Structures are given as structure tokens and as C-alpha cells.
């Protein structure tokens, strides 16, 4: 049996979890932007409810681990004392807008790459590099000295978790609130998911939502439990697809016996899982841009996703599922902004002008 270090085990888990997510997403057409598109254009909520089910499952599993004290969830950046509300708001709007221009999110980009989409490959490169620039490069100055200058310090109340806020307001111990808050929120989401013309009778959407939720919880378990090495502890994290593609690109460029970590392995695993599903479904085919206009739109959208995703500290999966699972206060702000930005971008693409898009949004209120 191979004698693997803790970091190697965590990376292996990242690849395996990514492969499961990639396989399921391609087979079940699990796509956050596709869900928003269905809701806005046709009123079909099924894919959005499948995504909501993933949030509920991930939240319950993560909070059970949290109250059990087995996965170091309190050490995630999602629950840190620095509340980057401006980044969550503005970054989320930009990410959502970019998502509309590209036609998918960071996760969906990797899923499309696995099927042979050349447009997705270009998006992957531009988004990954712009995210890396925004994290520590030139574009990072705008983020750090612009958006993050408005951050609030919530360390005195324990962090930016919703139970931390409720604890400060109600004067009760935050440790007693994590699971009840998760149960209330997850219960409400599940009720919505299975109400009306929801997920009942749609086994594929139910299974995909449950599996994606469990994969997100598995990410926190892998990094929080297996990565709990006193000599080389892994950062506690789970699925997120903004800075991870950038780190994967840099890893491929600079690799000289370097160590691979959870997020880099996650990227490769997601592409591999999607490729396997595309091969199984006989969906492998090369796709390119129709014209220069489409290419310009994709390039702009990829840059907005990279900068916006780093500013918001996550994407539709990174904040929308992983962040929500931790009960972070920034997560619903970022998620709401992403959905608004994506909707606005869709209306802009439908009308071709900002003013007409704004009027169309108002007419559908």
C-alpha cells in the first residue's frame, strides 16, 4: 500500500471529488447559470431547485461536522473576522455579468472543457490568469485598496458567521446556534425545492443535487480532517472554481517536482470527470467561436469572472454552495449579487442595450 503524506491524501481527495462533481454535472446538466437562464427565460425552476438542494445538503453535512468538532470548519476564510461586504457585492455583480457573457460559470467552464469545447479552454485561461492577477498581481491593487478598504472587522464577535451575528444580537452562545440555523435554513430550502412543480418525480435532478452537496461537504472533510497535519496543515476549503484554475495554470507552467494541493487537483479531477461523462455519452466534439464578436464577449466575460470571483471570495459554487454551507454572512450577499448580475447580463444580451435591458427588468418585476 502506498505511503502517502497528508498533503498527498488531501490532493487525491480533491481529484476524486472533482471527478465525481464533473461526472454528475455533465450527466445531469447541473449548471448554476443554466438554472438562472431557465428561470429568467422560461420560468422553469427545476435546475435552480436542484442547485438549492445541493446547498441544503452541503449545509446540513458541514454543520454536523462543525458542531462535532471534527473538520476545523471554523478555520475557513468564509468565517474569518474580516467581512468583505463590498467585495461580495461588487465582485458578485461583476462575476454574474461575466457569467452571462460567457454562458456559464467557472465550474461550467471546466465541464465544457471536458467535452472538447475550445471556447471554454480560452475562458479557462483568461479567467484563471485574471483571477491570479486579482489575487496578488496588478489587478489586486484595485481590489485591496478599493473594495477591501470598506471591510468590517467582525473578529470581536467571533467572525462573520450568521450565528456569530445572531449571538451578538441575542446575547446567546454562538456554539448553540450553528445546527439550529442550518436546520431552519436547509429545511426552508428543501420545502421550496419539493413544493409545486419542484423536484418530485425528477430523480436525476434530485440525485445530482444530493451528490453535489455531499461532494462539497467531502471537500471540507478532506481538508479539515485528513489535512489536519500539525507539521503541514492544509487550508480548510472545499469546491471553488475561480482562483483554482489560475493556480492550476501556474502549476503546469512552473512545475519542477512541486507539490499539488487540493484546489489544483480539484480542477484536474473536474475536467477528467466531465471528459469521462462526455465519452460515455458520446458527446465529445470540438466547438469554436462563431465570430469575432462572440470571442470578444467571452474574453470580457472571462476577465470579469476572474476579477469578480476573487473580489467576492468565490463563485456560484465557491460562495453559492461551499460558502453557504458554512453559514457565512458574505455568502448570501455574494450569491444574491451574482444572480442579479447574471440576470442583468441575460437581459442585456436579449436587448442589445443597457437602457432596454433596464426597462425589460422593470417590466418583469
Query: One digit per residue, pLDDT tens: the chain, 365 residues?
Result: 467 788 889 999 999 999 999 999 999 999 888 898 888 888 888 999 999 999 999 999 999 999 998 889 999 999 999 999 999 999 999 999 999 999 999 999 999 999 999 999 999 999 999 998 998 877 788 888 888 888 899 999 999 999 999 999 998 999 999 999 999 999 999 999 998 877 877 889 999 999 999 999 999 999 999 988 777 788 899 999 999 999 999 898 887 556 789 999 999 999 999 999 999 988 888 888 888 888 999 999 999 999 999 999 999 999 999 999 999 999 999 999 999 999 999 988 888 777 766 676 666 65
CB-based contact 340:280 (threshold 8 Å): no
CA distances from 320 to 188, 228, 312 (A): 16, 25, 11
Task: Give the residue from 83, 92, 365, 347 showing the smallest Cα distance to 242.
Answer: 92
Q: In the 3-class helix/strand/coil scheme, how is 104-127 assigned residue by residue?
A: CCHHHHHHHHHCCEHHHHHHHHHH
Cell 419542484 found at: 198
Cα 85 to Cα 153: distance, rounded to the nearest angstrom: 11
Split into its structural domains, the chain has a count of: 1
Closest alpha carbon to 32 in 207, 203, 212: 212
For the chain, how far is it from start to end, CA to CA, in angstroms? 60
**Residue 116 domain-assigned?**
yes
Picking from 291, 343, 342, 341, the residue whose alpha carbon sits closest to that of residue 119 is: 291
102 assigned to some structural domain:
yes
User: What pLDDT score was predicted for residue 1?
Assistant: 44
Q: Name the residue range of residue 355's domain.
A: 6-363
Query: Helix 330-351 and helix 92-102: axis angle, to 10°?
Result: 40
Contact 315, 91 (CB under 8 A): no
CB 37 within 8 A of CB 290: no
> Is the torsion defined by CA of 326, 161, 223, 270 positive or negative?
positive
Beta strand pairing status for 82-83 and 152-153? antiparallel
- The CA distance from 216 to 237, in Å, is 9
Q: What is the pLDDT of residues 15-73, one digit of tens each?
A: 999 999 999 999 999 988 889 888 888 888 899 999 999 999 999 999 999 999 888 99
Q: CB-hemisphere CA count at 13 Å for 140?
A: 11
**Count of residues for the chain?**
365
Q: What's the pLDDT at 7?
A: 86
206 within domain boundaries = yes
> Residue 161's beta-bridge partner residues?
328
- In three-state secondary structure terms, 199 is coil
Give every CB contact of residue 1 below 8 A, 6+ residues apart in sequence: none
Considering the domain boundaries, does residue 71 fall inside one? yes
Q: What is the pLDDT of residue 351?
A: 83
Is there a domain that residue 94 lies in?
yes
Question: What is the SS3 assignment for 364?
Answer: coil
What's the grid cell of residue 80?
474569518
Return d(Cα 251, Cα 235) in angstroms, integer. Answer: 18
Q: Let me know if 237 is exposed, middle or buried by CB neighbors in 10 A (0-12, 13-18, 19+).
A: buried
pLDDT value, residue 258: 62
> Does residue 1 fall inside a structural domain?
no
Per-residue pLDDT at 362? 65
Residue 13 covered by a domain: yes
Residue 82 pairs in a beta bridge with 153
Q: How far apart are alpha carbons 303 and 130 in whole angstroms? A: 6
Amino acid at each position: 500500500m502506498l505511503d502517502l503524506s497528508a498533503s498527498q491524501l488531501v490532493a487525491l481527495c480533491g481529484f476524486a471529488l472533482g471527478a465525481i462533481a464533473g461526472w454528475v454535472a455533465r450527466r445531469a446538466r447541473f449548471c448554476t447559470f443554466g438554472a438562472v437562464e431557465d428561470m429568467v427565460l422560461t420560468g422553469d425552476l427545476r435546475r435552480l431547485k436542484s442547485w438549492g438542494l445541493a446547498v441544503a445538503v452541503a449545509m446540513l453535512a458541514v454543520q454536523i461536522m462543525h458542531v462535532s468538532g471534527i473538520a476545523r470548519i471554523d478555520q475557513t476564510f468564509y468565517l474569518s473576522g474580516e467581512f468583505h461586504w463590498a467585495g461580495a457585492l461588487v465582485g458578485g455583480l461583476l462575476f454574474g455579468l461575466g457569467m452571462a457573457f460567457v454562458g456559464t460559470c467557472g465550474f461550467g467552464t471546466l465541464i465544457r472543457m471536458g467535452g472538447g469545447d475550445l471556447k471554454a479552454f480560452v475562458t479557462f485561461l483568461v479567467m484563471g490568469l485574471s483571477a491570479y492577477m486579482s489575487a496578488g498581481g496588478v489587478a489586486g491593487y484595485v481590489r485591496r485598496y478599493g473594495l477591501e478598504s470598506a471591510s468590517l472587522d467582525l473578529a470581536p464577535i467571533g467572525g462573520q458567521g450568521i450565528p456569530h451575528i445572531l449571538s451578538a444580537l441575542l446575547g446567546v452562545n454562538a456554539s448553540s446556534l450553528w445546527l439550529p440555523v442550518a436546520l431552519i435554513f436547509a429545511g426552508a430550502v428543501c420545502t421550496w425545492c419539493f413544493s409545486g412543480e419542484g423536484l418530485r418525480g425528477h430523480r436525476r435532478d434530485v440525485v445530482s443535487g444530493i451528490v453535489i452537496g455531499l461532494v462539497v461537504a467531502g471537500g471540507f472533510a478532506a481538508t479539515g480532517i485528513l489535512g489536519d497535519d500539525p507539521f503541514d496543515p492544509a487550508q480548510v476549503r472545499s469546491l471553488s472554481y475561480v482562483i483554482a484554475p489560475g493556480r492550476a495554470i501556474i502549476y503546469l507552467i512552473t512545475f519542477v517536482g512541486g507539490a499539488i494541493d487540493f484546489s489544483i487537483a480539484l480542477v484536474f479531477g473536474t475536467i477528467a470527470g466531465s471528459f469521462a461523462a462526455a465519452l460515455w455519452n458520446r458527446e465529445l466534439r470540438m466547438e469554436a467561436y462563431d465570430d469575432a464578436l462572440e470571442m470578444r464577449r467571452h474574453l470580457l466575460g472571462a476577465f470579469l469572472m476572474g476579477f469578480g470571483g476573487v473580489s467576492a471570495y468565490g463563485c456560484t459554487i465557491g460562495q453559492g454552495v461551499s460558502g453557504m454551507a458554512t453559514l457565512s454572512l458574505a455568502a448570501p450577499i455574494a450569491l444574491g449579487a451574482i444572480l442579479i448580475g447574471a440576470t442583468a447580463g441575460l437581459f442585456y444580451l436579449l436587448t442589445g442595450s443597457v437602457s432596454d435591458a433596464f426597462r425589460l427588468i422593470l417590466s418583469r418585476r
